[in-house]
Amino acid sequence: FEADKKRRVDAYWRLGIQVKPTLDTVVTHITLLCNHLAQQKVTEIEIGANSPSSCSTLWNVMCKIYEFLSHIAQTDSLKTRLGDVPCIVVEEGRRLVRPEQIAIRLEPEPEHEIRPLLYGMPRELGLYH
């Protein structure tokens, strides 16, 4: 068991894989990923980036990212660094919006929202606000 762990750690080191990535690395990746996907989702309908499986995957990945960030990041730092990035997943993964487009106390129902300008924060993401 120890030998396997040592080999794995050695392989990670040789490949440059970070077991625990830095906040800078995560923020850079979030920025690149979210900007790319936000553009892609605008141009596609129900294929590619907007297929049900892609939307579900994005939702799950973003929840993991929010969980990671909630454990290591300073809120003010994130607001500054991700304030202009469409990094909040809404519409069950069909759209990414900027944090300024989210209202925490707004009911996440279409009749209460002013889409695409303002969305209610999905209840599932309440842990991470």
Nearest to 93 by CA among 127, 65, 122: 122
Q: Are 95 and 41 in contact (CB under 8 A)?
A: yes
pTM over cut 0.75: no
Cβ contacts of 9 within 8 Å, gap of 6 or more: 19
Here the tokens at position 55 are: 């939307």
Question: Within a 13 Å sphere around the CA of 8, how many CA atoms are in the beta-carbon half?
Answer: 7
The whole-number pLDDT of residue 118 equals: 67
pLDDT at 98: 92
**What's the CA gap between 11 and 46, in Å, rounded?**
39
pLDDT means per 10 residues, the chain with 129 residues, are 83 85 90 93 78 91 89 77 92 88 64 65 60
